[in-house]
Structure 1
Amino acid sequence: MLVTQHPVFRRFWYPVMPIADLTDGPKPFTLLGEPLVLWLTEEGKPAALRDRCCHRSAKLSMGIVQNGCVRCPYHGWAYNESGSCTKVPQLDSGAAIPKTYQVEAFQCAERYGYVWVCLADDPLLPLPEIPEADAPGNRLIPQFYEPWQCSGLRVMENSFDNAHFSIVHAESFGVTEQPKPVKSELVPLELGLKAYATVPVVNPPLQQQLLNIPDSLTVREVESTWYVPFSRTLKITYPNGLLHLIFTAATPVGDRTSQIVQFCIRNDSEADAKAADIIAFDRQVVKEDKVVLESTDYDTPVDVSCEQHMPSDQPGIVMRRQLAALIKAHGPVQEEGRILTEV
């Protein structure tokens, strides 16, 4: 499955960049092969346009923000958040700017400290709602923002895969003596999936400190939610009541590359556990996953007959079938400017 060839993937919201990155001017980002320019308007809201001036195709992301508009670095044409040209320095004062002086604009919003973009006017799902992010006393900790050379579907399947813990995560939390995965209760959604499990884990010294649990072996109560196509939450509750919720998105830059956005939400304080230490432990876990996932084929099949499976792969099978149905239901495959009639 090559995401840039299926128009349906343009109909979802993706986190593309920390909003703090836009405070010093416009920035580029490529989403599903679409070059974007992102900036903040005078009201401090994020905006997204195609990163090409309609005059001579210069990259708008190389320009500056002036009066809430992004100004082209070539001839100084300026564009507002709707993509309309608001200033052409070369025209006489008071002259009307042709309506054709326009750059394509995309839906753009801020949530959880990140800029989100949808490339279509009619998204199939709203922005994810994470109630724990707004709960009094909880804190949100930004963790990772980096490109991985793998598909978003591989990242999502890995997030629901209980069978790799004892192998991939043997150095962090996996119980090597117990390679057999625990069973998950799966609840397929119309567009998405929930999974519930009780997972035994090893707690190294740093993790014991972060969890305020003196035991080297304990259990996690896990509630995982998949948001189609490439976002998930992993809600972990420990026996002492500590909440550690991880949000991860594998935003598709293109067919081979995913921008990994991850933050966590906890119901403790900095005095209880330092954010830097929490990030360090989760970073170790993420690096263990990254090494393996970047070795996989980026063209991940949604046809379940293309790869072999075992019982614990059921969450991934649900994902593949949902994505295959979406692709079939929402239009033909697009390849290099041509429309193909078969999926």
Structure 2
Amino acid sequence: MLVTKQPVLKRFWYPVLPVSHLLPGKPQSFELLGQPIALWMDRNGNPAAIADRCCHRSAQLSGGVVIDGNLRCPYHGWCFNAAGTCVQVPQLEERSIPKTYQVAGYHCTERYDYIWVCLDEPLQPIPEIPEVADPNFRFIHEFYETWKVSGLRCIENSFDSAHGNFVHASSWGDQKNPVPPPIDEIVNTDSGFLMKHWVEVLNPDLQKKNLGIQAEKTIRTNERRWFMPFARTLKIQYPNGVIHLIFTAYTPIDDQTSQLVQFCLRNDTEAEAKAADIIAFDRQVTLEDRTVLETTDYDAPLTIAEEQHMASDKPGILMRHQLAALLKSHGEVEKRRM
């Protein structure tokens, strides 16, 4: 599936930029689903996003500056508001600004310390993570980086219980025990589905330190929630009561590239487990995934007949079926590489 060729994917929210990256008066650029966008903070401190092409002579608006909460083009000084409407043309002294002086404006908001953008009318809200508001959990920023892999390959991998003992053999996987336990439950939700299962993992020294245990092996109880199309939460519960909840979004830059956005929440304290150590362990696991995923074919098919499958692929197959149904319900067919 080529994500840039499926218009319905524009109707979902995606995290595109850490709020901290938007400096006062300075716009930033991002490419979402093949669409270049310009981002900035308006005069009220709210994020704004519009198409990153001036309607006059196509200069990149993200190369301009923010003046009185509006974005001024670096070429001829035209200014645009958060709706994409041109509100000032320095060369027009008396005449009113034509209504055609307009660029596309996009839904834009701030949540979880990130700027989120939706290029069309949203079909679903931004994923809800109750633990963010729970005072028993601390919020830990982890990763913001570009991967050369498609969102569908990434999100399938996030629900694949069979790869861990091989891909993560240097962190927590056990190649001597390659058969994953059966999935306990998969329940459809309004935004995708919820999957519950457990897995026995090895504990390297850093993980023993992070969990405050000495056991060589541990049973993880996992609750994975899919937020269509390319985001998930993974809530890991350990026998000693520690909860490690990871949010990951694979924001689609284009057909071949995704922006990884990841943060986690923990119900312990800095004194019990240092954030730097938690990030270091998740860093190793994440890079192990990246090494393999960036070798995969970005044009992942929704039709399951094109690839071979096994029992543990059930979540990925459900994703493909649900995405195919989404396209069909909006009068679209899957677009593939020629």
TM-score normalized with structure 2 length: 0.96
Note the residue ranges of structure 1 that are not aligned, 5 or more in a row.
Answer: none
Q: 1:334 to 1:204 in 2, by over 3 A?
A: closer
The alignment of Structure 1 onto Structure 2 pairs a total of residues equal to 334
**Aligned counterpart, 2:215:** 215
The residue type paired with residue 43 of structure 2 is E
**Aligned counterpart, 1:63:** 64
Note the residue ranges of structure 2 that are not aligned, 5 or more in a row.
Answer: none
**Aligned counterpart, 1:270:** 270
Deviation at 1:120, TM superposition (A): 0.5
Q: 1:59 to 1:334 in 2, by over 3 A?
A: farther
Deviation at 1:334, TM superposition (A): 9.2
* Mapped partners of 2:106, 2:269: distance in 1: 37
* Mapped partners of 1:174, 1:333: distance in 2: 38
Deviation at 1:243, TM superposition (A): 1.2
Q: Which moved more, 1:316-325 or 1:83-92?
A: 83-92
Deviation at 1:157, TM superposition (A): 0.8
* Mapped partners of 1:70, 1:289: distance in 2: 39
Residue 84 in structure 1 maps to residue 85 in structure 2: yes
Q: What's the secondary structure of 2:281's corresponding residue?
A: helix
* Mapped partners of 2:153, 2:334: distance in 1: 22
Cα distance per residue 1:148-191 (max 9 Å; x no partner): 11111111111111101111000001122210011112112344
Q: Is the 8 A contact 1:220 1:239 kept in 2?
A: yes
Q: What's the secondary structure of 1:99's corresponding residue?
A: coil
The residue type paired with residue 198 of structure 1 is W
Deviation at 1:250, TM superposition (A): 0.6
How do 1:150-229 and structure 2 match up within 5 A? 150-184=149-183, 185-229=185-229
Q: Is the 8 A contact 2:78 2:90 kept in 1?
A: yes
**Aligned counterpart, 2:114:** 114
Deviation at 1:74, TM superposition (A): 0.6
* Mapped partners of 1:288, 1:334: distance in 2: 30
* Mapped partners of 1:283, 1:132: distance in 2: 22
Q: Is the 8 A contact 2:304 2:317 kept in 1?
A: yes
Cα distance per residue 1:105-147 (max 9 Å; x no partner): 00001110111111102x1111110001110131111111111
**Aligned counterpart, 1:310:** 310
Q: What's the secondary structure of 1:10's corresponding residue?
A: helix
**Aligned counterpart, 2:285:** 285
Q: Is the 8 A contact 1:246 1:263 kept in 2?
A: yes
Q: Is the 8 A contact 2:187 2:195 kept in 1?
A: yes
Q: Is the 8 A contact 1:188 1:318 kept in 2?
A: no
**Aligned counterpart, 1:145:** 144
* Mapped partners of 1:274, 1:43: distance in 2: 36
Q: What's the secondary structure of 1:284's corresponding residue?
A: helix
Deviation at 1:287, TM superposition (A): 0.5
Q: Is the 8 A contact 2:302 2:334 kept in 1?
A: no
Q: Is the 8 A contact 1:151 1:257 kept in 2?
A: yes
Q: What's the secondary structure of 1:251's corresponding residue?
A: strand
* Mapped partners of 2:45, 2:275: distance in 1: 27
Q: 1:54 to 1:40 in 2, by over 3 A?
A: same
Deviation at 1:95, TM superposition (A): 4.0
Percent identical: 57
Deviation at 1:35, TM superposition (A): 0.6
* Mapped partners of 1:246, 1:17: distance in 2: 18
TM-score normalized with structure 1 length: 0.94
Q: What's the secondary structure of 2:110's corresponding residue?
A: strand
**Aligned counterpart, 1:230:** 230
